[in-house]
Amino acid sequence: MSDEKSDGVRIIEAHQELVRHVESGSARIRTLSVITVFVSFILSASYLTQIAYPYVTGKTSVTVDLTSPANVVTELFVLALALAWLYIGVRDYVFSARLSKAIGQARDAEKELDKRITG
């Protein structure tokens, strides 16, 4: 009987260690996601203005021809990458926030269960 109890305690301790690890990793993921969203937003805005610049100002060349199909295709490709980066950053941030909330709820339930057990 005591062997079963020690196995249960070890399982609970391992679970708690996993939760602590996920919690600490979650904060890092959120921080990186916020940085990623910020940088990708700036990149996306930059590429959009570069694409729109010749059509808004009527100026077709500065140092290079901004309406050159090769330049526009390149800018659109890099813009697509920046938008994909933005999407991934937002998705990761939402996942991390949801995960942190679920872990918080599990910790609250764990405390409630501990109170009921210990009295």
Mean pLDDT on 96-112? 78
Residue 7 confidence class, pLDDT cut points 50, 70, 90:
low
Those residues whose C-beta lies under 8 Å from the C-beta of residue 26, and which sit 6 or more positions away, are: 96, 99, 100, 103
Is this structure's pTM higher than 0.85?
A: no
- pLDDT attached to residue 86: 84
Task: Answer yes or no: is pLDDT of 18 > 80.
Answer: no
3-class DSSP string for 35-74: HHHHHHHHHHHHHHHHHHHHHHHCCCECCCECCCHHHHHH
Beta bridge partners of 117: none
Contact 30, 97 (CB under 8 A): yes
- pLDDT attached to residue 82: 82
Task: Answer yes or no: is pLDDT of 5 > 70.
Answer: no
Tens digits of residue pLDDT in 29-64: 787 788 888 888 998 999 899 899 999 999 888 778
Q: Domain coordinates of the chain in residue numbers?
A: 2-118
